Amino acid sequence: MTMASEKLVYVVEDSISSGALYSSYLEQAGYQTRHFTDGHSALLGIKEQMPDVLLQDVCLPDISGLEVMRFAKERGDVPVIIITANSSIDIAVDAMRLGGFDFIEKPFSKDRLMTSVASACEQIQAEQTGRLKKNRSGSTTNKMKSVRDHFVGDSSTMNAVYNLLESAARSKASVFVTGESGTGKEVCAQSLHSASARASGPFIAINCAAIPTELFESEIFGHEKGAFSGAVSQRIGAAEQADGGTLFLDEICEMDLSLQAKLLRFLQTGSYQRVGGQKTLHSDIRIVCATNRDPAQDVAEGLFREDLYYRLNVIRVQLPPLRARGNDVITLANHFLREKNDSNDKHFLGFTNDAEAQIKAYPWPGNIRELQNVIENIVVIHDGDYIEGSMLESLNNVAQQLNNSPGTPPAPPLAQTMPTSINGVQNIKPLWQVEKEAIESAISQCGDNIPLAAACLGVSASTIYRKIKGWENSH
């Protein structure tokens, strides 16, 4: 790894005392520094000599810090770390979308500053190593991969996603992935990790909907032995496991509000404590989160903290549904066919024209996950050289049901339990019972395919599994 002493860091901070403090921290670690107290001086310094890292305050007395950042980016691919106060958080987010590497909020600790600068230098080192190996051998042999290596399909909608992900991978900015259930949000997170300088570090995935609320803090931050009943040994949490790598938080909108506050503090400071512990720990991670819900709507309804949402929603990636990806559906179908052939010792060569036409016409409410399940089901059950349209008859049945549905499953027969009667008001079912009947009806109509039922209801499959488990535990 390149020594810190070989790296030049420009500190652009109008406060003389703060700038001197940051420079002092950096110089103690072996970095070379230059401190500028206004934007125009910084522009002249950048024109004279490009720094390796730019530590940039967004609020300057003469020009915006974003102008300094743009000027530097036009002259070289320098990583820019944004310094911001709470009042300028929106500007910092804009800067990250313009290609900033990271942003840190005042007041911040020495550890937070040094971790960010070290990560930026690691990014430089990884890119230089990758270019060197490519020049010598004609191909890149280091652990960093292209985002496209993880995806199948070349539609215009996905090419736009690939380009955004390639840009995002080169920063430490948090990424918020949204899209319908089954569109490949975890694959998206893995691609960001593999295409970044963190590729050699760990990738830790947490499904926020699958963890009981009372265990969530322990799952993320770990716990000490004896911290609570059942804590028979120390546990290392996801934040500690992901140090130097990427933490993927799937179904982030399912996270309890109390833990959201602790996650926000961790993102701001990079520090945390295990449950039941006194020692303050530090972890350098990149956060990628995902949801199939509308996070802005959850913020409006008070279900998700607004400050955490803006901290996470620095780079927004919207994955398109499969029905919006054109011929990608056939490319994916062939890809899954080859996979399932290999795993089931089958020898299908492809699809007939009729089968392809049916695959294109079907709306795929369960998206890629549903397509994969359908192909696997056909390969397991049938034999032959080609998959024919008759083998896809189940798609026609489901499509008919979807087309005949106004958007929600029809009401099931009368409930087995009697309606509630309170203060003379009768014939009103409890909300949990209505929800249970709707979910059970959807599962039945979808042939016990829970991911498909979840897609039709507009929720995640993990939400349905959690509901079912709750009903079972209540009896």
**Average pLDDT taken over every residue of the chain:** 83
346 shares a domain with 304? no
CATH assignment at residue 116: 3.40.50.2300
State whether 124 and 229 are in the same domain: no
**For the segment 250-260, what is each residue's pLDDT rounded down to a tens digit?**
999 988 888 89
| Closest of 441, 462, 155, 161 to residue 293, by C-alpha | 462
Give the domain CATH number at 329.
1.10.8.60
Question: How many domains is the chain built from?
Answer: 4
- Short-list 44, 46, 82, CA closest to 64: 82
CA separation (Å) from 33 to 30, 159, 185, 470? Answer: 10, 40, 40, 57
Q: In 3-state terms, the chain is what percent helix, strand and coil (to 5)?
A: 50, 15, 35
Quick one: pLDDT at residue 5? 58
Domain check: are 237 and 176 in the same one? yes
Contact residues for 43 (Cβ-Cβ < 8 A; gap 6+): 68, 71
Is pLDDT at 195 greater than 60 in this prediction? yes
Tokens coding 356: 């392809």
User: How confident is residue 44, by pLDDT bands cut at 50, 70 and 90?
Assistant: very high
Task: Please check whether residue 171 lies inside any domain of the structure.
Answer: yes
Separation of alpha carbons 302 and 208, rounded Å: 18
What CATH code is carried by the domain that includes residue 453?
Answer: 1.10.10.60
- pLDDT tens per residue, range 316-336: 999 999 999 999 999 999 999
Report the CATH number that the domain containing residue 245 is assigned in CATH: 3.40.50.300
**Can you say how many angstroms the Cα of residue 355 is from the centroid of all Cα atoms in its chain?**
34
400, pLDDT greater than 70: no
Percent of the chain beyond pLDDT 90?
Answer: 36
Please tell me whether residues 156 and 287 are part of one structural domain. yes
Report if residue 338 sits inside a domain: yes
Q: Domain for residue 426, yes or no?
A: yes
Q: Which of 320, 345, 371 is the last residue of a domain?
A: 320
Q: State the CB neighbour count (10 A cutoff) for residue 123.
A: 22
Residues 436 and 399 in one domain: no
Q: How far apart are CA 321 and CA 401, in angstroms?
A: 19
What pLDDT is stored for residue 127 in this prediction?
A: 65
Same domain, 347 and 276: no
User: Do 246 and 161 share a structural domain?
Assistant: yes
Indicate whether 33 and 92 sit together in one domain: yes
Asked if the peptide bond before residue 107 counts as cis, ω within 30 degrees of 0, the response is yes
Indicate if 162 and 75 belong to the same structural domain: no
Question: Could you tell me the two tokens for 135?
Answer: 């020049």
If you average pLDDT over residues 415-439, what whole number do you get? 62
**The dihedral formed by the CA atoms of 113, 119, 121 and 127, expressed in degrees to the nearest 10:** -160
Residue 462 pLDDT: 66
Q: Is 208 contained in some domain?
A: yes
Based on the fold, state whether residues 170 and 298 are members of the same structural domain: yes
Residue 242's nearest CA partner among 193, 187, 169, 309 is: 193
Residue 420: what pLDDT? 45
Say how many CA atoms lie within 13 Å of 314 toward its Cβ.
31
Does 413 map to a domain?
no
The amino acid at residue 337 is L
Contact between 65 and 39 (Cβ < 8 Å): yes
Q: Containing domain of residue 334, as a range?
A: 323-404
Tell which of 320, 344, 372 closes a domain: 320
Q: What is the pLDDT of residue 427?
A: 62
Provide the phi-psi class of 361: left if phi over 0, else alpha when psi is between -120 and 50, else beta. alpha
**Domain's final residue, options 285, 320, 355:** 320
Tally of CB atoms within 10 A around 230: 9
Nearest to 273 by CA among 225, 238, 223: 223
Q: Are residues 127 and 266 in the same domain?
A: no
At residue 242, the pLDDT reads 93
> Do the domain assignments include residue 371?
yes
Is residue 411 a part of any domain in this protein? no
Same structural domain, 120 and 202: no
> Averaged over 412-425, what is the pLDDT?
42
Closest listed residue to residue 264, CA positions, set 201, 302, 313, 226: 313
The pTM score is 0.69
Would residue 74 count as lying in a domain? yes
